[in-house]
Amino acid sequence: MIELRNISKEYRTGKISVQALNDIELDIRKGEFVAIRGPSGSGKSTLMNLIGCLDRPTEGTYILDGVRVDEMEEDELAAVRNRKIGFVFQTFNLINTQTALENVELPLLYAGMRRTRDASLKALEEVGLSGRLKHRPSELSGGESQRVAIARAIVLDPSIILADEPTGNLDTRTGEEIMEVFNLLNDKGTTIILVTHEHSIAGHARRQINLLDGAVVSDTGEGNAT
Ligand SMILES: Nc1ncnc2c1ncn2[C@@H]1O[C@H](COP(=O)(O)OP(=O)(O)OP(=O)(O)O)[C@@H](O)[C@H]1O
Ligand SMILES: [Mg+2]
Protein backbone atom coordinates (compact mmCIF):
# COMPACT_ATOMS: atom_id res chain seq x y z
CA MET A 1 0.00 0.00 0.00
CA ILE A 2 2.99 2.28 0.69
CA GLU A 3 5.61 2.39 -2.08
CA LEU A 4 8.59 4.71 -1.78
CA ARG A 5 10.94 4.85 -4.76
CA ASN A 6 14.27 6.70 -4.67
CA ILE A 7 12.91 9.10 -2.07
CA SER A 8 15.18 11.92 -0.98
CA LYS A 9 14.45 14.91 1.21
CA GLU A 10 16.62 17.96 1.45
CA TYR A 11 15.90 20.78 3.88
CA ARG A 12 17.21 24.19 2.98
CA THR A 13 17.46 26.98 5.51
CA GLY A 14 19.23 29.94 3.97
CA LYS A 15 22.54 28.70 2.64
CA ILE A 16 22.58 25.57 4.74
CA SER A 17 21.11 22.41 3.30
CA VAL A 18 20.57 19.12 5.10
CA GLN A 19 20.08 15.87 3.25
CA ALA A 20 17.63 14.29 5.71
CA LEU A 21 16.71 11.29 3.52
CA ASN A 22 18.87 9.81 0.84
CA ASP A 23 17.47 7.50 -1.84
CA ILE A 24 15.01 5.52 0.28
CA GLU A 25 13.38 2.43 -1.27
CA LEU A 26 10.62 1.04 0.89
CA ASP A 27 7.46 -1.01 0.54
CA ILE A 28 5.02 -1.43 3.40
CA ARG A 29 2.05 -3.69 2.88
CA LYS A 30 -1.44 -3.40 4.33
CA GLY A 31 -1.64 -4.78 7.86
CA GLU A 32 2.07 -4.61 8.62
CA PHE A 33 3.39 -3.53 12.03
CA VAL A 34 6.69 -1.72 11.49
CA ALA A 35 9.14 -0.16 13.93
CA ILE A 36 11.57 2.46 12.67
CA ARG A 37 14.72 2.99 14.71
CA GLY A 38 17.92 4.94 14.33
CA PRO A 39 19.99 7.60 16.08
CA SER A 40 18.81 11.16 16.57
CA GLY A 41 18.94 13.04 13.28
CA SER A 42 18.89 9.90 11.14
CA GLY A 43 15.67 11.00 9.41
CA LYS A 44 12.97 9.03 11.24
CA SER A 45 10.54 11.91 11.73
CA THR A 46 11.24 13.17 8.23
CA LEU A 47 10.31 9.75 6.84
CA MET A 48 7.14 9.64 8.96
CA ASN A 49 6.14 13.11 7.75
CA LEU A 50 6.53 12.00 4.14
CA ILE A 51 4.64 8.75 4.62
CA GLY A 52 1.92 10.72 6.46
CA CYS A 53 1.56 13.20 3.59
CA LEU A 54 2.53 16.07 5.90
CA ASP A 55 5.40 16.94 3.62
CA ARG A 56 6.63 16.12 0.12
CA PRO A 57 9.93 14.60 -0.97
CA THR A 58 12.45 16.67 -2.93
CA GLU A 59 13.06 13.68 -5.18
CA GLY A 60 11.48 10.32 -5.81
CA THR A 61 8.05 8.76 -6.14
CA TYR A 62 5.56 7.98 -3.38
CA ILE A 63 2.60 5.79 -4.26
CA LEU A 64 -0.09 5.32 -1.62
CA ASP A 65 -2.83 2.80 -2.39
CA GLY A 66 -1.93 2.92 -6.07
CA VAL A 67 -2.05 6.73 -6.28
CA ARG A 68 0.95 9.02 -6.71
CA VAL A 69 0.95 11.47 -3.85
CA ASP A 70 4.42 13.03 -4.20
CA GLU A 71 3.21 15.55 -6.75
CA MET A 72 -0.09 16.47 -5.13
CA GLU A 73 -0.97 19.99 -4.11
CA GLU A 74 -1.41 20.75 -0.44
CA ASP A 75 -5.22 20.53 -0.41
CA GLU A 76 -5.24 17.17 -2.19
CA LEU A 77 -2.55 15.92 0.16
CA ALA A 78 -4.61 17.04 3.15
CA ALA A 79 -7.62 15.13 1.84
CA VAL A 80 -5.58 11.93 1.48
CA ARG A 81 -4.16 12.43 4.95
CA ASN A 82 -7.55 12.93 6.57
CA ARG A 83 -9.02 9.91 4.87
CA LYS A 84 -6.25 7.39 5.37
CA ILE A 85 -3.91 8.33 8.19
CA GLY A 86 -4.08 8.72 11.95
CA PHE A 87 -1.24 10.37 13.88
CA VAL A 88 -0.02 9.74 17.42
CA PHE A 89 2.69 11.90 19.00
CA GLN A 90 5.13 11.61 21.88
CA THR A 91 3.56 14.55 23.71
CA PHE A 92 -0.07 13.48 23.07
CA ASN A 93 -1.02 16.94 21.65
CA LEU A 94 -4.43 17.02 23.30
CA ILE A 95 -6.43 20.22 23.79
CA ASN A 96 -6.22 20.99 27.49
CA THR A 97 -9.51 22.83 27.79
CA GLN A 98 -11.52 20.00 26.27
CA THR A 99 -12.64 16.72 27.76
CA ALA A 100 -11.42 13.32 26.55
CA LEU A 101 -14.62 12.86 24.58
CA GLU A 102 -14.43 16.34 23.03
CA ASN A 103 -10.80 15.76 22.00
CA VAL A 104 -11.80 12.59 20.18
CA GLU A 105 -14.75 14.33 18.51
CA LEU A 106 -12.55 17.03 16.98
CA PRO A 107 -11.43 15.22 13.79
CA LEU A 108 -15.08 14.39 13.06
CA LEU A 109 -16.09 18.04 13.48
CA TYR A 110 -13.23 19.15 11.22
CA ALA A 111 -14.38 16.60 8.66
CA GLY A 112 -17.77 18.32 8.71
CA MET A 113 -19.70 15.51 10.39
CA ARG A 114 -22.62 16.40 12.58
CA ARG A 115 -23.06 13.10 14.38
CA THR A 116 -19.85 12.77 16.36
CA ARG A 117 -20.89 11.11 19.60
CA ASP A 118 -21.27 7.44 18.70
CA ALA A 119 -18.02 7.09 16.76
CA SER A 120 -16.12 8.91 19.52
CA LEU A 121 -17.54 6.69 22.24
CA LYS A 122 -16.66 3.62 20.19
CA ALA A 123 -13.07 4.81 19.67
CA LEU A 124 -12.65 5.51 23.39
CA GLU A 125 -14.06 2.08 24.17
CA GLU A 126 -11.56 0.50 21.79
CA VAL A 127 -8.67 2.01 23.73
CA GLY A 128 -10.23 1.03 27.07
CA LEU A 129 -11.07 4.52 28.23
CA SER A 130 -14.86 4.59 28.47
CA GLY A 131 -14.57 5.51 32.15
CA ARG A 132 -12.84 8.85 31.57
CA LEU A 133 -15.08 10.63 29.07
CA LYS A 134 -15.48 13.88 31.01
CA HIS A 135 -11.89 14.14 32.23
CA ARG A 136 -9.64 16.86 30.86
CA PRO A 137 -6.00 16.10 29.94
CA SER A 138 -4.76 17.56 33.27
CA GLU A 139 -6.93 14.99 35.06
CA LEU A 140 -5.56 12.04 33.10
CA SER A 141 -2.37 10.00 33.57
CA GLY A 142 0.20 9.90 30.78
CA GLY A 143 -0.99 6.49 29.63
CA GLU A 144 -4.62 7.62 29.68
CA SER A 145 -3.73 10.75 27.72
CA GLN A 146 -2.01 8.66 25.07
CA ARG A 147 -5.09 6.42 24.88
CA VAL A 148 -7.24 9.49 24.22
CA ALA A 149 -4.76 10.52 21.51
CA ILE A 150 -5.00 7.05 19.95
CA ALA A 151 -8.80 7.20 20.08
CA ARG A 152 -8.61 10.58 18.30
CA ALA A 153 -6.28 9.01 15.70
CA ILE A 154 -8.65 6.10 14.97
CA VAL A 155 -11.99 7.89 15.10
CA LEU A 156 -12.08 8.47 11.33
CA ASP A 157 -11.14 4.81 10.79
CA PRO A 158 -7.75 5.29 9.09
CA SER A 159 -5.99 2.40 7.36
CA ILE A 160 -2.59 3.58 8.63
CA ILE A 161 -1.50 4.80 12.05
CA LEU A 162 1.78 6.69 12.29
CA ALA A 163 3.22 7.09 15.78
CA ASP A 164 6.43 9.05 16.42
CA GLU A 165 7.89 7.94 19.79
CA PRO A 166 4.44 7.23 21.26
CA THR A 167 5.91 5.78 24.47
CA GLY A 168 8.74 8.33 24.82
CA ASN A 169 7.03 10.19 27.67
CA LEU A 170 5.76 7.09 29.47
CA ASP A 171 7.29 4.71 32.00
CA THR A 172 8.13 1.20 30.84
CA ARG A 173 4.99 -0.47 32.09
CA THR A 174 2.63 2.18 30.73
CA GLY A 175 4.54 2.04 27.45
CA GLU A 176 3.90 -1.69 27.27
CA GLU A 177 0.17 -1.08 27.85
CA ILE A 178 0.10 1.42 25.00
CA MET A 179 1.82 -1.15 22.79
CA GLU A 180 -0.99 -3.59 23.64
CA VAL A 181 -3.45 -1.04 22.25
CA PHE A 182 -1.44 -0.82 19.02
CA ASN A 183 -1.29 -4.62 18.88
CA LEU A 184 -5.09 -4.84 19.10
CA LEU A 185 -5.53 -2.27 16.33
CA ASN A 186 -3.02 -4.16 14.18
CA ASP A 187 -4.93 -7.41 14.81
CA LYS A 188 -7.98 -5.67 13.33
CA GLY A 189 -6.00 -4.94 10.16
CA THR A 190 -4.72 -1.41 10.71
CA THR A 191 -1.21 -0.81 9.39
CA ILE A 192 0.99 0.54 12.20
CA ILE A 193 4.27 2.37 11.70
CA LEU A 194 6.03 3.64 14.78
CA VAL A 195 9.30 5.33 15.60
CA THR A 196 11.01 4.32 18.81
CA HIS A 197 14.40 4.45 20.47
CA GLU A 198 13.57 1.53 22.73
CA HIS A 199 14.52 -1.99 21.81
CA SER A 200 11.72 -3.55 23.87
CA ILE A 201 9.09 -1.35 22.23
CA ALA A 202 10.41 -2.14 18.75
CA GLY A 203 10.09 -5.83 19.68
CA HIS A 204 6.30 -5.55 19.46
CA ALA A 205 6.53 -4.82 15.75
CA ARG A 206 6.86 -7.64 13.25
CA ARG A 207 9.28 -5.70 11.12
CA GLN A 208 12.19 -3.49 12.16
CA ILE A 209 13.76 -0.89 9.93
CA ASN A 210 16.97 0.89 10.95
CA LEU A 211 17.92 4.28 9.58
CA LEU A 212 21.33 5.90 9.60
CA ASP A 213 22.15 9.24 7.98
CA GLY A 214 18.92 9.23 5.99
CA ALA A 215 19.33 5.73 4.56
CA VAL A 216 17.90 2.31 5.42
CA VAL A 217 20.74 0.24 6.87
CA SER A 218 18.71 -2.80 7.87
CA ASP A 219 15.19 -4.08 7.31
CA THR A 220 13.79 -7.37 8.60
CA GLY A 221 10.84 -7.18 6.18
CA GLU A 222 10.07 -10.10 3.89
CA GLY A 223 12.67 -10.38 1.19
CA ASN A 224 14.95 -7.91 2.96
CA ALA A 225 16.00 -9.93 6.04
CA THR A 226 19.38 -8.75 7.22
N1 LIG B 1 12.18 21.45 9.13
C2 LIG B 1 13.50 21.23 9.03
N3 LIG B 1 14.32 22.14 8.49
C4 LIG B 1 15.65 21.91 8.37
N5 LIG B 1 16.26 20.77 8.76
C6 LIG B 1 15.49 19.82 9.31
C7 LIG B 1 14.08 19.99 9.48
N8 LIG B 1 13.57 18.87 10.06
C9 LIG B 1 14.63 18.04 10.24
N10 LIG B 1 15.78 18.60 9.80
C11 LIG B 1 17.12 17.97 9.80
O12 LIG B 1 17.01 16.73 9.11
C13 LIG B 1 17.73 15.70 9.78
C14 LIG B 1 16.79 14.57 10.15
O15 LIG B 1 15.87 15.03 11.13
P16 LIG B 1 14.70 14.13 11.75
O17 LIG B 1 13.87 15.02 12.59
O18 LIG B 1 14.03 13.39 10.65
O19 LIG B 1 15.54 13.11 12.65
P20 LIG B 1 15.04 12.00 13.68
O21 LIG B 1 15.65 10.71 13.25
O22 LIG B 1 13.57 12.05 13.80
O23 LIG B 1 15.73 12.48 15.05
P24 LIG B 1 15.18 12.37 16.57
O25 LIG B 1 15.44 10.96 17.02
O26 LIG B 1 16.07 13.35 17.30
O27 LIG B 1 13.75 12.75 16.60
C28 LIG B 1 18.39 16.37 10.97
O29 LIG B 1 19.72 16.66 10.62
C30 LIG B 1 17.59 17.63 11.18
O31 LIG B 1 18.40 18.64 11.71
MG1 LIG C 1 12.25 12.56 15.33
**Closest ligand 1 atom, residue 43 Cα:** 18
Helices 172-187 and 142-154: angle between axes, nearest 10 degrees: 20
Domain range for residue 193?
Answer: 2-219
Residue nearest atom 8 of ligand 1, based on CA coordinates: 46
The alpha carbon of 41 and the centre of ligand 1 are apart by a number of angstroms equal to 5
Mean pLDDT computed over every residue of the chain: 95
What does the pLDDT look like over 26-81, one tens digit per residue? 999 999 999 999 999 999 999 999 999 999 999 999 999 999 999 999 999 999 99
Identify the pLDDT of residue 75.
92
pLDDT of residue 2: 97
Q: What pLDDT score does 93 carry?
A: 96
Tell me, in angstroms, the distance from the centre of ligand 1 to residue 74's CA.
Answer: 21
Q: Is residue 226 part of a domain?
A: no
Express each pLDDT in 13-28 by its tens digit. 999 999 999 999 999 9
- Residues with Cβ within 6 A of ligand 1? 11, 13, 18, 20, 38, 40-46
Closest ligand 1 atom, residue 46 Cα: 18
Q: What residues contact residue 15 under an 8 Å CB cut-off, 6+ apart?
A: none
pLDDT in tens, 121-175: 999 999 999 999 999 999 999 999 999 999 999 999 999 999 999 999 999 999 9
pLDDT of residue 120: 97
Q: Which atom of ligand 1 is nearest to the CA of 197?
A: 25
The alpha carbon of 39 and the centre of ligand 1 are apart by a number of angstroms equal to 11
Backbone phi and psi for residue 220, each to the nearest 5 degrees, phi listed first: -85, 5
pLDDT at position 222 is: 74
Q: What is the pTM of this model?
A: 0.94
| Residue 221 pLDDT level (bands cut at 50, 70, 90) | confident
Is 9 domain-assigned?
A: yes
Domain count, the chain: 1
Is residue 206, in this structure, part of any structural domain at all?
A: yes
**What is the model's pLDDT at position 103?**
98
| CATH number (domain holding residue 152) | 3.40.50.300
Average pLDDT over residues 69-95: 94
Ligand nearest to the CA of 210: 1
In the chain, what percentage of residues exceed pLDDT 90? 94
Residue 225 lies in a domain: no
| Res 172: pLDDT | 95
Q: Which ligand is nearest to the CA of 46?
A: 1
Ligand in nearest proximity to the CA of 37: 1
For residue 188, CA distances in Å to 21, 31, 182, 214, 220 come to 32, 8, 10, 32, 22
Q: Are 155 and 119 in contact (CB under 8 A)?
A: yes
pLDDT of res. 223: 63
